[in-house]
Structure 1
Amino acid sequence: MRFTPGPTTVPPAVREAMAAEQPNPDLEPEFAERYDDVCAKLAEIYDTSHDVVVPGGEGILGLEAAIASLVAPGDRVLCVSNGLYGDGFADFVNSSDGEAELVSAPYDEGYDLETIATALEDADDAGDPFTLATLVHCETPTGTLNEMGPVLDLLEEHDVLSVVDAVSSLGGTPVPTDRIDVCLGASQKCFSAPPGLTTAAISDRAWAAMEERDPSSLYTNFLPWRDVSGGFPYTHLDANVAALDAALDRLLEESLDSVFERHEDAAERCRERGAELGLELYPDHERSSPTVTAFHLPGEATRVQRRVADEADIVLATGLGEMEDDILRFGHMGYNAEVEKVDRAMDAVEAVLE
């Protein structure tokens, strides 16, 4: 059993949809109709009135394309971070010749609102305001769910565009999409479809900002996806779109309220079992995501991961970067957000720890 925070296990119905013969995405109108249906279903899951687009490319494409589409050389970007992906936004900004200012908090803490407010005020006072800010809703490497509202309030007050990585939260917990200018998702997390597609909900003012830029790339550029009535920017991933379509049907048939409750129940069970085993939650309970749980096992995470895989045929994830051997992660998201599957994974960990 794969119990990782993405790519998640793909349900049989989704695999079957992907294996079916597909219409030609360049020539047959049936594919364009399916693409439009997928975007409409995603708008329901995003709970947004914004345009939704689905480029072909794994979720990192969305993060890089958002920056490449919105950042012109010299633009100042506020990168708000308390994790690996928050830090990574600054690299994308620099590669687009923008000027990134990283406002960091410790990985096991929430955003530092006072520092964010000061950075915004200082930029305005200096006459060199930020044009854009980047945020991460769920930091997958640590299982941290960040509260978006207070930071979005500050950005709205200073008229700064927002880009939010919601890749590992979208479809598993509510996301305030209509307050976000570019809200990014991906097929392989809570949707439980195969990796290969980026999803993005884009506001009118973000489109307007993109129109003013001169992007140097076709692939890392959202603008060509705004109107695909005349054809797609490049040959789309027909089987991946079919799989995502089937995956979205599963979520909508269940109802989002039920989906979110299922994720909360699975997360709570995982943390209860962890506490019984004496495992330390990372970060604390208040900041932990309903979609992924991280436990702090300094110097032991990789050993436990390997033994669980060898002895129980269950795949877990460790941390990333410097925390690779210190964090053990459980991905109760999408198809795996079930208490029974949590118990199977935790039983295997218990056997190893004993």
Structure 2
Amino acid sequence: MLFTPGPTAVPPSVREAMAEPQPNPDLDPAFRDRYRDLCAKLARVYDTDHDVVVLGGEGILGLEAAIASLVDPGDRVLCVSNGLYGDGFADFVESYDGDPELVSGPFDDGYDLDAVETALEDAAAAGEPFGLATMVHCETPTGTLNDLEPVLDLLDEYDVLSVVDAVSSLGGTSVPTERIDVCLGGSQKCFSAPPGLTTAAISDRAWEHMESREPTSLYTNFLPWRDVSDGFPYTHLDANVAALDAAVDLVLDEGVEGVYARHEAAAERCRERGAELGLDLYPDAERASPTVTAFSLPGDAARVQRRVAADEDVVLATGLGEMADDILRVGHMGYNADVEKVDRAMDAVEAVLDGSH
């Protein structure tokens, strides 16, 4: 039983769609029609009037493409972070010769709004304002869901473009996409489609900025995807598109609000079971994401994860980086946002913990 926070378990109808014979993505108009329909459906999940595009490449492609599409050498970029993926945006900026300023808060807390405001004020006063800011909605390694709105308010005040990694929240909880210039998603998280596709909702002013500069890349570049009426920039992943199309249909058939409620119920059940086992949340319940729960098991997470997999045939995840052995993660997202499945996963955790006492 795969119960990780991505890639997630894939529903049978999605696997079946992927296994069907596919139209040629370069030559068959039927593929282009499917692609357009998929983008329109995704806009309903994003709840946005922004253009939505789907690129062939795992979700990290979107993070890099956002930077490659918007950042010129020397551009100042504000990277707002409280986790590994937030910190990682600064690495992307540096790799494209931008100038990142990382405003990083504790991994178990919200964004440091005072530090963000100070950074924006100081940059404006020095005549070196930020053109772009990056954030992460759900920091999957710690199960932290960030409140984006206060930072977006500040970015609006200083007229700064925004890029948000919503890869592990999109389709599982509400994302304020209309306020975001580039909002990134991926196929393998809450949509429960196979890994391989990046989604992005892109505002008009983000497109305008892309069009005002010389592109530094073809593959990690959103701009060629703005108009695909004459064909795609490169051969698309036909079977992956079919799978994501089927996965998005499941979301829309259930109803987006119903999907969100299902994720909340699954998260609540997971945390109830964890509390019964004496497990502490990381972070606290106020900041915990409805798509993934992180339990604090200092120095013991990797052992528990291995035993749950070997003894109970349930695959969970640990933390990442320096917290790899301190956090056990249960990925109740997408197809696994189900109370009965959560109970099965937590029964497995309970069996291992009882056996270790």
TM-score under structure 2 normalisation? 0.99
- Letter of the aligned partner of 1:235 in structure 2? T
Give deviations 1:181-219, integer Å, cap 9, x for gaps: 000000000000000000000000000000112122100
Paired position in structure 2 for 1:30: 30
Q: Secondary structure at the match of 1:141?
A: helix
Paired position in structure 1 for 2:86: 86
**1:323 Cα shift?**
0.5
Paired position in structure 1 for 2:285: 285
CA distance in 1 between partners of 2:231 and 2:160 (Å): 32
CA distance in 1 between partners of 2:320 and 2:306 (Å): 16
Paired position in structure 2 for 1:294: 294
Paired position in structure 2 for 1:54: 54
User: Pairwise CA RMSD of aligned residues?
Assistant: 0.4
- The answer to whether structure 1 residue 203 and structure 2 residue 206 are counterparts is no
Paired position in structure 1 for 2:215: 215
- Letter of the aligned partner of 1:214 in structure 2? E
- Letter of the aligned partner of 2:291 in structure 1? T
CA distance in 1 between partners of 2:213 and 2:105 (Å): 31
- Letter of the aligned partner of 2:236 in structure 1? H
Q: Secondary structure at the match of 1:286?
A: coil
- Letter of the aligned partner of 1:152 in structure 2? L
CA distance in 2 between partners of 1:111 and 1:47 (Å): 24
Give deviations 1:237-282, integer Å, cap 9, x for gaps: 0000000000000000000111000000000000000001000100
Question: Where do 1:6-45 residues align within 5 Å?
Answer: 6-45=6-45
Q: Secondary structure at the match of 1:121?
A: helix
Paired position in structure 2 for 1:146: 146
CA distance in 2 between partners of 1:301 and 1:212 (Å): 48
- Letter of the aligned partner of 2:106 in structure 1? P
CA distance in 2 between partners of 1:220 and 1:213 (Å): 15
Give deviations 1:162-187, integer Å, cap 9, x for gaps: 00000000000000000000000000
Gaps of 5+ in 2: none
CA distance in 1 between partners of 2:103 and 2:177 (Å): 22
CA distance in 2 between partners of 1:214 and 1:107 (Å): 36
TM-score under structure 1 normalisation? 1.00
Gaps of 5+ in 1: none
Paired position in structure 1 for 2:326: 326
**1:152 Cα shift?**
0.2
CA distance in 2 between partners of 1:177 and 1:194 (Å): 23
CA distance in 1 between partners of 2:88 and 2:97 (Å): 15
- Letter of the aligned partner of 2:197 in structure 1? L
Paired position in structure 1 for 2:342: 342
Paired position in structure 2 for 1:274: 274
CA distance in 2 between partners of 1:214 and 1:324 (Å): 40
Q: Secondary structure at the match of 1:328?
A: strand
Segments of 4+ moved more than 3 angstroms: none
CA distance in 1 between partners of 2:331 and 2:106 (Å): 22
Paired position in structure 1 for 2:315: 315
**1:313 Cα shift?**
0.5
CA distance in 1 between partners of 2:9 and 2:276 (Å): 27
Q: Secondary structure at the match of 1:275?
A: helix
**1:234 Cα shift?**
0.2
Paired position in structure 2 for 1:69: 69
CA distance in 2 between partners of 1:192 and 1:68 (Å): 27
Paired position in structure 2 for 1:168: 168
Paired position in structure 1 for 2:260: 260
- The answer to whether structure 1 residue 135 and structure 2 residue 143 are counterparts is no
Q: Secondary structure at the match of 1:199?
A: strand
CA distance in 2 between partners of 1:114 and 1:328 (Å): 31
- Letter of the aligned partner of 1:125 in structure 2? A
CA distance in 2 between partners of 1:73 and 1:215 (Å): 12
CA distance in 2 between partners of 1:207 and 1:95 (Å): 22
Q: Secondary structure at the match of 2:64?
A: helix
Q: Secondary structure at the match of 1:266?
A: helix
- Letter of the aligned partner of 2:133 in structure 1? A
Q: Secondary structure at the match of 2:200?
A: strand
